[in-house]
Amino acid sequence: MLTIYGNVFYKGRIVECGIEVENGVIVDIGKDKKGKKVDGIIMPAGIDVHVHFRDFKESYKETVESGSLSALYGGVCLVVDQPNTNPPIVDEDIYFRRMEIAKRMSYVDYSLNLGLVEDNVDEIDEILRKIEEKHYIPAIGEVFLRGKMSVRYETLEKAKKTVNKLITVHAEDPNEDDDVNAEVKAVERCLSIGKFHFCHISTAKALDMIYNTDSTSEVTPHHLIYSKEVVKLKVNPSLKSNEDRVALVRNFHKADILASDHAPHTLEEKWEGAPGFPGVETLYPMFFYMAKRGYIKISDLVEKFVINPAKIFGFDRYGGIEVGNYANFAVFDPHSEKPIRARDLHSKVGWTIYEGLMAVFPKEVYMRGEKVLEDGEILIDRGFGKVL
């Protein structure tokens, strides 16, 4: 039995109490539970439901090992990796191959979506059945509607009828040139088909459309922080005008999930137009800093980066600091704010769009009650993370 005592974010507020842990699970929480004193604020560890850890033929720019290490330094205990790898994860063989890599290499708990393409839609139910004999699949997706690995709306509708599984959608209409209208039209069409989880929504209008349905949405730091007038680098969906960005910020409360869309490329690839930014290590530290400054509510951060990801993606025993959940914590010292520097981060690409922005990085991280990071030092070996 382990008892951790300190200032804990519990049931929507910070209280001084103790957390009793047995076999990696929280068994009791109370002010009378005295134990090892932890300095700082004990927060639930984050869940990033949208990362691209590359690997395979793109291991030169990120791997499960380097990406999960970056996640751990950012206070994240569980990730959902996306299937648009090279080769793509669209059948059981490549799925199992990916999970074997994660078993050996991941520092944090790891889960993996299954890709949907035109060529596998007729077998998707059987592929799911084979994989789920061994692993938990969080979702099908992200499903692309334009570009590489894209499917038609009719194919998406067919998959929706075939499988009883959450489907996540990258909502950009293939027949619309205007990026704002492309997102809005794609969301509108998908909502007419059924319930989906919409990845990285970048416009307030689309967010509002989803908010009034039983579908769910996520937003990213880069769409909330940057506009196309400030940052010219490519990302999909694109950065919008500052007017659109401000509207998205004002509607932040309507988003269900905050996710990084960690999409690393080398600097050379970025200058050539490759879309995406790394961000799994900086999301929680940046937004904890924002909460400290009063720009957002700390309860909103926990809801969107911990509680809702576990609930929407069906992660049993993950989520907030509650009895019955895993003892996964990120401990922040609110006085240790510092600017983000690429040289201090752990993604292989070695750069960040958030260079110079202020953040509070976790001083300690616990997974299933075991301290895995302390003052910048990793205390575990690769492969510590569980594959779901």
d(CA 114, CA 1): 38
Q: What is the pLDDT of residues 172-200, one digit of tens each?
A: 999 999 999 999 999 999 999 999 999 99
Spatial contact of 47 and 318, defined as CB atoms under 8 Å apart? yes
Averaged pLDDT of the chain: 97
Question: Above pLDDT 90, what percent of the chain?
Answer: 97
Mean pLDDT score, 344-349? 97
User: Mean per-residue pLDDT for 129-152?
Assistant: 96
pLDDT-based confidence at residue 204 (cuts at 50, 70, 90) = very high
pTM above 0.85, yes or no: yes
Mean pLDDT calculated for residue range 202-215: 97
More confident residue, 35 or 64: 64
Q: For residue 117, what pLDDT is reported?
A: 97
Question: Which residue ranges make up each domain of the chain?
Answer: 2-43+326-378, 45-313
Superfamily of domain 2-43+326-378: Urease, subunit C, domain 1 (2.30.40.10)
**Sole residue written with tokens 């996710």:** 259
As a whole number of Å, the end-to-end CA separation of the chain is 25
Question: Does the active-site annotation cover 261?
Answer: yes
Best CA proximity match to 368, nearest among 108, 194, 177: 108
pLDDT number for residue 33: 83
pLDDT in tens, 69-86: 999 999 999 999 999 999
Cβ–Cβ under 8 Å, residues 304 and 256: yes
Catalytic residue (choose from 55, 81, 173, 261): 261
Give the number of other Cβ atoms within 10 Å of residue 192's Cβ.
9
What pLDDT, in 10s, does the model give residues 250-300? 999 999 999 999 999 999 999 999 999 999 999 999 999 999 999 999 999
Same fold, 2-43+326-378 and 45-313: no
CA distance 55 to 84: 11
pLDDT of residue 32: 86
pLDDT of residue 36: 83
Tokens of 79: 């990730």
121 SS3 class: helix
Q: How much is the pLDDT for 148?
A: 87
- DSSP, collapsed to helix, strand or coil, labels residue 252 as helix
Measured between alpha carbons, how far is 164 from 382 in angstroms, rounded to an integer? 34
* pLDDT at 1 exceeding the cut of 90: no
Q: Give the tens place of pLDDT for each residue, 32-51.
A: 888 889 999 999 999 999 99
What per-residue confidence (pLDDT) applies to 127? 97
Domain 45-313, architecture per CATH: Alpha-Beta Barrel (3.20)
CB atoms within 10 A of CB 14: 14
